[in-house]
A and B are shown apart, each in its own frame.
Chain A
Amino acid sequence: MRLAWGITRAIAAAGKYSACVYLIVAAVILYDVVARYVFNAPTYWALELSILLAASQFIIGGLLPTAENSHVRIDGLYRLARPSVRRWMDIFAAFVALFYMAFAAYYCWKSALTAIRVWETTASIWDTPSPTIVKTVIALCFTLIALQSALNVIFWLRREQQRPERADETL
């Protein structure tokens, strides 16, 4: 069980700290604006780099809500349910997530492995392996979400209610 909680904390932390890339994204885009208007020399790498970083985070961003069970739900009945019923609702929801994400992960790995084999690149001036990286990140994150959903089922079955700290949901 300690291993399971360790994995959960690691998944939550990855989801949490990945968002720091947005500072780099903002800086890269600002640099590009300045380079274009002040130095009159737009960069060839800013667009590609900012999309690569943001695209990866979009996918990694799903990890934390899975670990802390805060994905958007229509919670009319969920709120009203007694805790014992709610526990079964949570178990069922985690099963559904596991079913979907396991299939999605399998087919995303197929596509990622193909990309790795041919070493897919952007074929732009900068020519980075950005497609290979993003596809691998997608496959990896879907696998982690499937894994986390399986762990969530176990946690609820064992009535281990303690969860990683919940981020405030003001967005």
Chain B
Amino acid sequence: MSIEWLSIAILVGLFALLAAGVPLAFATGAIAVTMALTLFGPNSLGIIANQVYEFVNTYALVAVPLFMLTGVLLERAGVAEAVFRALHVWSGRLRGGMAVGTIAAAAVLAAMVGVIGAEIVMLGIVALPAMLKRGYSRSLALGTICAGGSLGALMPPSVVLIFYGVLAGVSISQLFLAAVVPAVLYALLYSSYILVRSYLQPSLAPPAPPEELDMPVLEKVRLAQGFVIPLLIIAALLMSLYLGIATPTEAAAIAVLAAGLTCLARGKLSRQTLISSLTDTGSAIGRLVYIFLGASALISFYNFAGGTRYLSGLIVGIDLPPLGIIIIMMLILFVLGFVLDFIGILFLTMPIFLPIVSELGFDLVWFGILFTMNMQMSFLTPPFGPAVFYLKTVTPPDITLGQIFQSVWPFVGLQFLGLVLIVVFPEITLWLPGQMR
């Protein structure tokens, strides 16, 4: 079979299995096995055993479950409430202040949490009822939470960045630092959009009640207590990475300790909480790891068949300047984001893209940030938008999936704008890690 037909057969087979409801991890793995049996003989399957072993033995990956555990523990500790309360009271005089406060709270939480699930659930439980009660437009409130909550996967410590770093062989500390400014940029874009919209259409975002606005200044300042622990955790994470005194994995262990102590201090640390936090973490990482295993087996056999070379040839063969090729890659990622999970996209595309990106002379840290920003859009877009599904698990029953999906489009537009900015001005992201080199 020629490589063109093989590539088409794999794509068709993969999407047929996925459409039939086969989990991503098993669909990719089964196609890999079929390809190995028909093209290379059964003994070639031995490489699967090697791959699995090599992958799980990666030190950097130890950080992933620890950051996930931190997120779940902080969620159970109810840290979100205090942060959100302070921020929305402080921004009470702004039109749309509560939504802006939600974005600010989301950015603070994102800096402690590495996954979007825990963060969206926190915001959905705390900020959504508050905004709806105040009479905010549903669409604005839902979109704000989905977009703000997705920052968890961009702002360090992002799990997406850890996986990218392992795959691309780039320093995870560098990636974390490079992600700080883009994440803040997104938060600023979202906030500006909310402000502009609520000034143009005041009915979308009713103002705060007088008792909140007239709260004595001293009491307003006292609300800052809610930030003490989050800021300590964030400072510890960033300083250990910036000064190089602790690896990301060590920083993750410190974060787990801090989150555990937070739970304890707030009287939320029962044995049940601990066990359920651990169980959620264990299954979540298990799902990710098996997606990796299937996807990397598929990519290896495809590579043996000459597929990677073929696809690189196709992409490089497009008559475009280097930046044009990057833009083509971003478009491919964006389209895949509609139907695939970020980890599947990462492991299926990066083995093909990364060699091209380095050959064209681009910075792999920069490309990693572009990838992660691109995946922010994939969290929101239908039909497979994880952020929307997470939010749906905690919304009142009369809010439908369709309503949430409709609410995210303005934010997807802003994410696209942010992505364009980073493509055009790479310094925005590369300045901070450059300070450390």
- A interface residues, Cβ below 8 angstroms from B: 15-20, 22-23, 25-26, 29-30, 32-33, 37, 47, 50-51, 54-65, 70-78, 81, 86, 89-90, 92-93, 96-97, 99-101, 103-104, 106-108, 110-112, 131, 134-135, 138, 167-171
> How far is A92 from B20 in the complex, measured between Cα atoms in Å?
8
Measured between alpha carbons, how far is A124 from B246 in the docked complex, in Å? 22
Partner of A171, one of B21, B62, B118: B118
Partner of A72, one of B24, B59, B297: B24
Using a CB–CB cutoff of 8 Å, the interface residues on chain B facing chain A are 17-27, 29-30, 32-33, 37, 42, 45-46, 48-50, 52-53, 56-59, 61-62, 65-66, 68-69, 71-72, 75, 115, 117-118, 121, 245-246, 249-250, 252-254, 256-257, 274-276, 278-287, 289-291, 294, 297, 339-341, 344, 383-384, 390, 393
In the complex, what residues of A have CB within 8 A of residue B59's CB? 47, 51
Q: Does more than half of chain B's interface fall in helix, strand or loop, or is it mixed?
A: helix
A78 to chain B, nearest CB (A): 4
Interface centre among B56, B256, B384 (most CB of A within 10 A): B56
**Other contacts beyond A26-B66, A73-B23, A135-B49: 6, CB < 8 A:** A22-B282, A51-B57, A57-B285, A71-B25, A167-B283, A170-B118
8 smallest CB-CB distances across A and B, nearest first, come from A61-B286, A19-B282, A171-B284, A71-B23, A29-B253, A78-B21, A100-B29, A111-B49
B286 nearest CB neighbor, chain A only: A61
CB distance A19 to B49 under 8 Å?
A: no
Task: Report whether A22 and B72 are in contact in the complex, using a CB–CB cutoff of 8 Å.
Answer: no
Cross-chain contact of B246 among A33, A93, A131 (Cβ < 8 A): A33
Contact of A15 among B17, B27, B283 (CB under 8 A): B283
How near does chain B come to A141, taking the closest CB pair, in angstroms? 9
Shortest CB distance B361–A (Å): 34
In contact, B56 and A55 (Cβ under 8 angstroms): yes
In the complex, chain B residues whose CB is within 8 Å of the CB of A32? 250
The reply to whether A30 and B254 form a contact with Cβ atoms under 8 Å apart is yes
Query: In the assembly, what is the distance between CA of A60 and CA of B19, in Å?
Result: 27
| A85, closest chain B residue (CB) | B21
Cβ-defined contact, A59 with B287, below 8 A: no
B46: nearest residue on chain A (CB-CB)?
Answer: A107
CA distance A112 to B49 in the complex (A): 9
Q: Are B24 and A73 in contact (CB under 8 A)?
A: yes
Chain B residues near A25 (CB-CB < 8 A): 62, 65-66, 253
Structural contact, B52 and A59, CB atoms closer than 8 A: yes
Whether B62 lies near A100 (C-beta < 8 A) is no
A76 touches B25 (CB 8 A): no
Q: Tell me if A108 and B22 are in contact (CB < 8 A).
A: no
Q: Are A19's CB and B281's CB within 8 A?
A: yes
| Beta-carbon contact of B26 and A100 below 8 Å | yes
A72 to B292, CA, bound (A): 12
Smallest distance from the beta carbon of A133 to chain B beta carbons, Å?
Answer: 11
Minimal beta-carbon separation of A97 from chain B (angstroms): 4
A60 to B65, CA, bound (A): 13
Alpha-carbon gap, A110 to B45, bound state (A): 11
